[in-house]
C-alpha cells in the first residue's frame, strides 16, 4: 500500500451507518419486544406504534403484529438517523441509555394517552418495567454502536497497520 493510501482514512458514511444500525436495532429489540409479549412480560402490543394507523383488533392478529414489528424497525431507523446526526461523537454508553429512556418517556408515558394504547398508569408494573428495560437497551445499542464507530476510528486504524 502506498503512502498516499495510508494517509487517507476511510470515513464511515453517517447516513448509511445510521440506517444499518437502526435496522438491526429494530430487528433485534423489536423481536425481543414480541418475545416479551408472547411470554406475558408486557401487555403492550408489539404493534403499539401502529395504533394511530390500524384498528386495535387488527394489531392483535399475526399480520398486525408483523406490521407492528416492521413499524418498529422503521421507527428504529429514523431514531438511529437522528442519534447519529446529533450525538455520534459522544463517547461511552450513557448517552445512548438516556436516549432510550427519553424515547420510552415519549412513547409510553406522553403519547400513550392520546393515541397509542391505554394510559401508562393502568399498565401493570411489570409491563412498565419491561418496556423501560427494552427501550434502555435499545437506546444503548444505538448509542454505543455509534460511539464505537465514530470515537474509536484512530484505534481501529492503528490495529490494521494504518497511521
Tell me the mean pLDDT per 10 residues along the chain, length 163.
50 90 96 94 87 86 92 96 91 91 87 59 84 95 90 57 47
83 inside domain: yes
Burial environment of residue 138 by CB neighbours within 10 A (0 to 12, 13 to 18, 19 or more): buried
Determine the pLDDT at residue 123.
Answer: 78
Determine the pLDDT at residue 83.
Answer: 94
Determine the pLDDT at residue 157.
Answer: 52
91 inside domain: yes
118 inside domain: yes
End-to-end CA distance of the chain: 12
Q: Which residue has the cell 490495529?
A: 159
4 inside domain: no
- Supply the pTM of this predicted model: 0.81
Determine the pLDDT at residue 3.
Answer: 45
145 inside domain: yes
Helix axes 94-104, 125-151, angle to 10 degrees: 140
162 inside domain: no
**Which run of H or of E encompasses 138?**
helix 125-151
161: left (phi over 0), alpha (psi -120 to 50) or beta: left
Instruction: Name the CA dihedral angle for 37, 65, 81, 23, rounded to a multiple of 10 degrees.
Output: 90
Cβ atoms of residues 44 and 127 within 8 Å: yes
d(CA 112, CA 78): 20
Determine the pLDDT at residue 41.
Answer: 93
Burial environment of residue 36 by CB neighbours within 10 A (0 to 12, 13 to 18, 19 or more): buried
Number of domains in the chain: 1
5 inside domain: no
Determine the pLDDT at residue 118.
Answer: 60
Determine the pLDDT at residue 107.
Answer: 85
* Containing structural domain, residue 82: 14-150
Amino acid at each position: 500500500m502506498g503512502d498516499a493510501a495510508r494517509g487517507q482514512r476511510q470515513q464511515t458514511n453517517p447516513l448509511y451507518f445510521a440506517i444499518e444500525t437502526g435496522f438491526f436495532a429494530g430487528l433485534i429489540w423489536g423481536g425481543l419486544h414480541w418475545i416479551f409479549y408472547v411470554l406475558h412480560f408486557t401487555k403492550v402490543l408489539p404493534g403499539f406504534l401502529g395504533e394511530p394507523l390500524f384498528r386495535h383488533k387488527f394489531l392483535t392478529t399475526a399480520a398486525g403484529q408483523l406490521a407492528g414489528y416492521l413499524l418498529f424497525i422503521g421507527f428504529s431507523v429514523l431514531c438511529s438517523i437522528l442519534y447519529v446526526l446529533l450525538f455520534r461523537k459522544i463517547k461511552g454508553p450513557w448517552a445512548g441509555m438516556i436516549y432510550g429512556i427519553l424515547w420510552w418517556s415519549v412513547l409510553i408515558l406522553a403519547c400513550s394517552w392520546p393515541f397509542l394504547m391505554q394510559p401508562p398508569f393502568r399498565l401493570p408494573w411489570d409491563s412498565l418495567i419491561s418496556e423501560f428495560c427494552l427501550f434502555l437497551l435499545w437506546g444503548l445499542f444505538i448509542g454505543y454502536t455509534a460511539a464505537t464507530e465514530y470515537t474509536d476510528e484512530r484505534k481501529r486504524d492503528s490495529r490494521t497497520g494504518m497511521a
